[in-house]
Amino acid sequence: MATEHRARKRFGQNFLVDANIIERIIESLNPDKQDNLIEIGPGQGALTDKLVERSGHLDVIEIDRDLAQEFSRRYEKADNFTLHNADVLKFDFNSLIPSENGYRVIGNLPYNISTPLLFHLFACKHLFKDMVFMLQLEVVNRLAASPGNKNYGRLSIMAQYHCEVEKLFQVPPTAFRPQPKVESAIVRLKPWKQPPCTTVDHAQLEILVRTAFSQRRKTVQNSLKKMLDKSQFDALSIDGSRRPETLSLEEYVTICNSLEQSKT
């Protein structure tokens, strides 16, 4: 950026400054001129120059008004660049011009809004080909966790319901200015073309999973006792005495579909 910009805590700003990490992130996405990209939270533009150069079109979403003004000046002559000075949690991705092959999304996501932002993106996953994000390492581990793992929970299940999840590599605090107090990691999320399992009502699945993990030390039967009883668990060949973190995505979908069928 042309002027020095002080990182703002309220926006969760930690600016990426490590050239090697920047290059690895770009290569993880590996964009070309056929791609329409969306960059979320570009910060000081560590990735943006390379994305503009290598993509067909780049839409950038930046909430910080001062940074947005800098981007407007910096790319005013770029015909493949569109700036949206907006809160990404409120941004309507359906308002973008449809991309024939799906948008490719990239970003260093603010850690303080990462989970609600991921759910916001899952809600319009049909628009996206893939997403490459920098996130807190703990969040990436939760996204990629399998049943029985201590990191496995609501975020793991819902992310894996919507997307194929691939943890790529870790990023040390020294790659940022100012340095965060946590480790970071890069993850690729690729919306399923053919989901491993489906439910007729994914909103019901979210409620089911949230309820199951609201008291994760309890058995899943106790956690879900207001939704189904032991005989229903038995009919599904699922042991209700298990803990919520031991049930697979497929088992939660089976329970969800059973609940939906019981309504008819």
Q: What is the pLDDT of residues 48-89, one digit of tens each?
A: 999 999 999 999 999 999 999 999 999 999 999 999 999 999
Which CATH number do you get for residue 245?
A: 1.10.8.100
Question: Could you tell me how many residues make up the chain?
Answer: 264
Closest CA to 228 of 185, 257, 199, 198: 257
Q: Is residue 3 part of a domain?
A: no
Domain range for 151: 9-191
Q: Do 33 and 149 have their domain in common?
A: yes
**Torsions phi, psi for 262 (to 5 deg):** -70, -15
Q: What per-residue confidence (pLDDT) applies to 15?
A: 85
C-alpha 133/C-alpha 136 separation (Å) is 10
Between β-strands 103-108 and 128-136, what pairing exists: parallel, antiparallel or unpaired?
parallel
Which has more pLDDT, 260 or 221? 221
pLDDT interval class at 260 (50, 70, 90): confident
Please identify, among 191, 216, 239, the residue that sits at the C-terminal boundary of a domain: 191
Q: Do 20 and 124 have their domain in common?
A: yes
Tally of domains in the chain: 2
Q: Is residue 216 part of a domain?
A: yes
Q: Is residue 197 part of a domain?
A: no
Q: Do 183 and 222 have their domain in common?
A: no
pTM: 0.92
Contacts by 16-23 with C-beta closer than 8 Å and gap 24+?
16/43, 16/46, 16/47, 16/108, 16/134, 16/175, 16/176, 17/46, 17/175, 17/176, 17/177, 18/171, 18/174, 18/175, 18/176, 21/171, 21/175, 22/46, 22/47, 22/50
Q: What per-residue confidence (pLDDT) applies to 81?
A: 97
Q: Do 186 and 243 have their domain in common?
A: no
Q: Do 179 and 215 have their domain in common?
A: no
Q: What per-residue confidence (pLDDT) applies to 13?
A: 56
Q: Is residue 143 part of a domain?
A: yes
Q: Is the model's pLDDT at 6 over the cut of 70? A: no
Q: Do 43 and 134 have their domain in common?
A: yes
Q: Is the model's pLDDT at 5 over the cut of 70? A: no
Say if residues 205 and 214 touch (Cβ distance below 8 Å).
Answer: no
Q: Do 187 and 207 have their domain in common?
A: no
Q: Do 112 and 243 have their domain in common?
A: no
Q: Is the model's pLDDT at 12 over the cut of 60? A: no
Q: Do 175 and 256 have their domain in common?
A: no
| Percent residues over pLDDT 90 in the chain | 83
Q: Is the model's pLDDT at 18 over the cut of 60? A: yes
Q: Do 246 and 208 have their domain in common?
A: yes
Q: What per-residue confidence (pLDDT) applies to 3?
A: 43
Q: Convert the pLDDT of each residue in 174-200 to its tens digit.
A: 999 888 889 999 999 999 999 889 998
Q: What per-residue confidence (pLDDT) applies to 264?
A: 64
Q: Do 215 and 182 have their domain in common?
A: no
Q: What per-residue confidence (pLDDT) applies to 248?
A: 98
